[in-house]
Amino acid sequence: MSYSVYIIGEAETEPALRLTYKIGVSSDPEMRCRTLQTGNPRKLCVFKLWEVGPDFQAKWIEAAVHEALKERLIRREWFQVTLDEATSVVSQVIEQAQTKEGLGVANWREPTRRIILPWKIR
């Protein structure tokens, strides 16, 4: 089964004001969005999606993204970031994972490069 890393946020908020996103992993991100919708009065949608492979790879990427964004954590998997910031961090982590030699579990333990946080670039 293939898993995806997703970014979910509020669909009806103006893009410039949209600063809360959920970054997670699922084998069915659209279904995950619908289950989250049950507890949210605002319309949610999947903004970005990366198919990343097996469960252990997806969880490694998710954990690395959450670690990189820990300064922006609101609660659990929800972060106060722009869509561009979240996309940049997820893309960097995925690129880093893809450049590792082999895809065995042992090779997915430690990020080898520092993640560049977009809001710290000035």
pLDDT category, 107, cuts 50, 70, 90?
A: very low
Note the pTM of the prediction, 2 decimals.
0.81
Which among 108, 14, 26, 21 is positioned nearest to 61, based on CA atoms?
A: 108
Range in 31-40, 69-78, 91-100 the model is least confident about:
91-100
Domain ranges (residues) in the chain: 3-120
Q: What pLDDT is recorded for position 69?
A: 94
Over residues 52-82, the pLDDT tens digits come to 888 888 898 999 999 999 999 999 999 999 9
